[in-house]
A and B are shown apart, each in its own frame.
Chain A
């Protein structure tokens, strides 16, 4: 299905219409923004059910704050992403009770998690490797490659410097390559020189 793309103004207008009592505007925002939020939460948590909870929770906070939303404060989709990220990190912390950059547990193996991905060995291997990254590195990768944010945007969202983002991303990629190295021939991946 071709999903209509909303720009920042479009998102803000829909939110304002919702705040004025238009439930249809909420449906439109949910349809437009929900899938990516769910994908982001799924990549962070590795658990579809938890990702759905985070997605629902993020939207609830949006609905509750709609009446006080300041025009121009932030883009709705960016705000939602930040909330979903924070909720995901909170869940990861509670799940392990360990510092933020502890090693991640293996991803959930339930078919519903893999269902949204293409049924390919590469995609599956990447999913597993991503789940094994430290939370902070995974967060940077997800924001860059799923949310499509630039380094300055990631820096603002994570409240760190741009250099720190570059460092996180570089470490994440080294980690992914190492995790995927065992299967590089099978998967037809790059050659290490």
Chain B
């Protein structure tokens, strides 16, 4: 099943924004939380776990669990604490 159509209908959102997550370009809205924008674009795997290398993604959505950490301009930050900006370049952790 795809994650298409997760944005709740009938809600006006901020200006369109484009960003990249690794090689993938996605469109979102200014001011959306990055993790949420990625989810809506069908991107759920944000990193791979130490140890078993299993896929990990958004879990607590409140900056506590550290599962959604990504890299933006060389700095590690939780995707649930970052607001989308047009032109943002996001990398998954190495």
The reply to whether chain A is a binding partner of chain B is: no
